[in-house]
Structure 1
Amino acid sequence: MVLALGGNIGVLGVVGIALIVYAMFSYYASTSIVLSISGAHQVTKQEEWEFVRRVENLCIGAGLPMPKTWVLEDSAPNAFATGRDPEHAHVVVTRGLLDKLEPIELEGVLSHELSHIGNYDIRLMTLVTVLVGVVALVSDLFLRFTFMGAGSRRGSRDKGGNAGLILLVVAIVGAILAPIVAQGIRLAVSRRREYLADASGALLCRHPEALARALEKIAADPEPLEAANKATAHLYISNPLKEHASFLNNMFSTHPPIEDRIRILRSM
C-alpha cells in the first residue's frame, strides 16, 4: 500500500514536471512556430517603405517599441500580431492587404494589430492557448491513469470496486468536458479581445471608418488564406478560413461577427 502510494506520487511528480516543461516550451517557442507555419518573411523599411513607415509612426503615437515587420506572400488580405510582449512583438501582413487596401485603411488594420500588442493580448492569448493544451494533456493522462487503476482492481468485488467505477465514470466525463470548457473560454476571450482591439485601434488611428472599411474589404474578399489553419486562425484580424456563416460556426468562431464589429466602429 505504502509502496504503491509512493509509486503513484513519483509518477505524478514526473508528469507534473513534464507538464511544466511543456508549458514553458510552448510559451517561449510559440512565436517562432507561428511565424514558421505562416511562411512570412521579415522585411525592412527599404523593402516595404510604406508598410514599415506606418508601423513606425503608429508606434510613436502609441508609445510602443517598434515590432519586427513581416510580409506573407499571399493575395488574400489579412494581418496578425504575435509575440510574448511589446518588446518581442511581430506584425505580419499579407501581400493582398498591402495591394488591396487604401493607405488609410491599411493604417486602421495596423492600429488594430498594434492595439493587440499594447493591450498585451498577444501574451494573454499565448497563455490561454498553452492552458488549453495543458488541460487537454492532463485530461488525457487522468483518464489513462484511471483506466489503469480500474484494471488493477477489476478482480475486487467489495465496496471499493463500486467507488472505482464511480471514479472511472467521473474521469471519463471530466476528460471529455474539461478540454471543451477550456476551448470555450479561449474562444470567448479571443472574441472579447477583438472588440477591444477594434476600439483601441480606432482611437489610435483616429479614423474608425477606415478600420470599418478595411474589415468590409477583408471579409468580402473570396480568397481563403492558404497558410491559415485552425491552430492559427484566431491570430488574424478576420477569420482567414472563410467559413460559411452558420449557428455552429459562429458559436465556435474565434472572431465576433464581422457585421457587429463594423456596426460598432461606425457608431463611434
Structure 2
Amino acid sequence: MLYKQIEQNKRKTLLLVLLFVVIVLGAGMAVSYLGFGDLWTGSIIAAVILLVYLPVTYLSASSQVLRMSGATLASETTYKQLYHIVEELCIPARIPMPKIYIINDPSPNAFATGIKPEKGAVAFTTGLLNQLNREELEAVAAHELAHIRNYDIRLMTITIALISVVAIIADIGTRMLFTQRRSSNKKTHPAVYIIALLFVLLSPLAARFVHLAVSRNREYLADATAVEMTRNSLGLQNALRKISASNLDVNKARKATASLYISSPYSNQRKKQKTSWFSTHPSLESRIERLGRM
C-alpha cells in the first residue's frame, strides 16, 4: 500500500504539472488572439517573460524564504538531539546533510527549502521542538527531508514562478483590451474571441488552483516517503495531531510560502475538517487516514 500510494502521487503530480504548462501556453495564445489576431505572438512574449522570471525566482527562492521566516542557523551544540535525528535520517533518505535552521516562534511547525539536495535546508520552530517528543520530531524531520529528496521545493518554486508569469500575461491581455485597437484586417471569430477573453480572465485563478493541488499532492507523497524512511506511521500521525491542535499562527509566515510548511501556518486553516480547492494542505483527517493504511 505504501509504495502504491507513492507511485499514485507521482503520477498525479505529473498530470498537474502538464496541466500547468497548458494553462501558461493557453494564456499566451489567448492574449495573442485578443491583441494581435494570431496565436503565436503572445506565446513568444510568454516564453520571454518565463525565461527571465523563472531563473530569478529559481535561484533566489531559498534565501528569500529563510529570510522572510526569520530563520537562524542552529548551533550543533545547542540542538544536539535535532542534529543527530536529521543526520540519522539522511542515511535512509540518501541525501547530504542539510543545513538546520531554527525559527523563534511558539507555533509548532517546520518546513524545508533548497532546489536540490546538495543545497537543502530544514527549519523548525521552537514551538515544535518544545511540544514534540523524539519519535514525533523524527517523523517531522523525515517528512521535511522527504520534500528535499523528492525535489518538491524545486517543483513548488517553479509552480510559484509560473503563477506569477500567468498573472503577468493576463494583466497584459487585460490592458490590451482597453488600450489597443485591432486593425480591421485581423478577423476574429466571436466565439473564439469570447473563449480567449475568458481564458485571460480566469487563467490566474486556474493556475492558483493547480499550484495548490500540486502542493496538497506533494504533502501526501512526503508523508508516505517519511513512513518509508522511519518505518513508523504513528509518530507522524501524533505529530500532525499536536501541530493541528495549536491555536497559534506562525508569526512571520506569508501566503506565498504557506505551502512549504508541514501543516498550514495559519490556525484557522489547520482546523478545517475538509480539504477545499483553496487549501495549501490536505485536511488532518485525510492525512491521518492515509497514514493509518500504511
Q: Secondary structure at the match of 2:268?
A: coil
What CA RMSD, in Å, does the superposition of the two structures yield over aligned residues?
2.6
For 1:115 and 1:72, locate their aligned partners in 2 and report how far apart those are by CA, in whole Å: 20
Q: Secondary structure at the match of 1:69?
A: strand
Counterpart residue identity of residue 138, structure 2: E
2:50–2:162 contact (8 Å) kept in structure 1 = no
Alignment partner of 2:164 out of 130, 133, 139? 133
Compared with structure 1, are the counterparts of its residues 257 and 56 closer, same or farther at alpha carbon in structure 2 (3 Å cutoff)?
Answer: same
Counterpart residue identity of residue 256, structure 2: A
For 1:237 and 1:214, locate their aligned partners in 2 and report how far apart those are by CA, in whole Å: 10
Q: Is 1:183 aligned to 2:208, yes or no?
A: yes
Residue 188 of structure 1, CA deviation: 1.0
Counterpart residue identity of residue 233, structure 1: A
**Alignment match, 2:117:** 86
Q: Is 1:240 aligned to 2:271, yes or no?
A: no
Q: Is 1:203 aligned to 2:228, yes or no?
A: yes
Alignment partner of 1:252 out of 278, 281, 288? 278
Q: Is 1:74 aligned to 2:105, yes or no?
A: yes
Q: Is 1:223 aligned to 2:244, yes or no?
A: no
Q: Is 1:53 aligned to 2:84, yes or no?
A: yes
Q: Secondary structure at the match of 1:71?
A: strand
Q: Secondary structure at the match of 2:102?
A: strand
For 1:11 and 1:192, locate their aligned partners in 2 and report how far apart those are by CA, in whole Å: 31
1:146–1:171 contact (8 Å) kept in structure 2 = no
Counterpart residue identity of residue 86, structure 2: V
For 1:251 and 1:177, locate their aligned partners in 2 and report how far apart those are by CA, in whole Å: 15
What 5-or-longer segments of structure 1 have no aligned partner? none
For 1:134 and 1:103, locate their aligned partners in 2 and report how far apart those are by CA, in whole Å: 42
1:47-80 per-position Cα deviation (integer Å, ceiling 9, x unaligned): 3111111111100222111111100000100000
**Alignment match, 2:144:** 113
1:243–1:249 contact (8 Å) kept in structure 2 = no
For 2:163 and 2:216, locate their aligned partners in 1 and report how far apart those are by CA, in whole Å: 16
Number of residues of Structure 1 aligned to a counterpart in Structure 2: 255
**When the two structures are superposed, what TM-score results if normalisation uses the length of structure 1?**
0.86
Residue 21 of structure 1, CA deviation: 1.5
Q: 5 Å matches for 1:95-106?
A: 95-106=126-137
Compared with structure 1, are the counterparts of its residues 214 and 247 closer, same or farther at alpha carbon in structure 2 (3 Å cutoff)?
Answer: closer
Tell me which structure has the larger Cα radius of gyration.
1
Alignment partner of 2:174 out of 143, 147, 167? 143
Residue 25 of structure 1, CA deviation: 0.3
Which protein has greater RCO, CA pairs closer than 8 Å, 6+ apart?
Answer: 2
For 1:127 and 1:147, locate their aligned partners in 2 and report how far apart those are by CA, in whole Å: 31
Q: Secondary structure at the match of 1:233?
A: helix
Counterpart residue identity of residue 180, structure 1: L
1:171-194 per-position Cα deviation (integer Å, ceiling 9, x unaligned): 542222111111111111111111
For 2:118 and 2:194, locate their aligned partners in 1 and report how far apart those are by CA, in whole Å: 47
**When the two structures are superposed, what TM-score results if normalisation uses the length of structure 2?**
0.79
1:109–1:211 contact (8 Å) kept in structure 2 = yes
Counting aligned pairs with the same residue, the percent is: 40
2:273–2:285 contact (8 Å) kept in structure 1 = no
Compared with structure 1, are the counterparts of its residues 242 and 107 closer, same or farther at alpha carbon in structure 2 (3 Å cutoff)?
Answer: same
1:42–1:71 contact (8 Å) kept in structure 2 = yes
**Alignment match, 1:261:** 287
**Alignment match, 2:238:** 213
1:67–1:90 contact (8 Å) kept in structure 2 = yes
For 2:274 and 2:92, locate their aligned partners in 1 and report how far apart those are by CA, in whole Å: 40
Q: Secondary structure at the match of 1:32?
A: helix
For 2:73 and 2:236, locate their aligned partners in 1 and report how far apart those are by CA, in whole Å: 24
**Moved >3 Å (runs of 4+):** 9-19, 162-172, 244-249
1:191-225 per-position Cα deviation (integer Å, ceiling 9, x unaligned): 11111110110121121100000000000011111
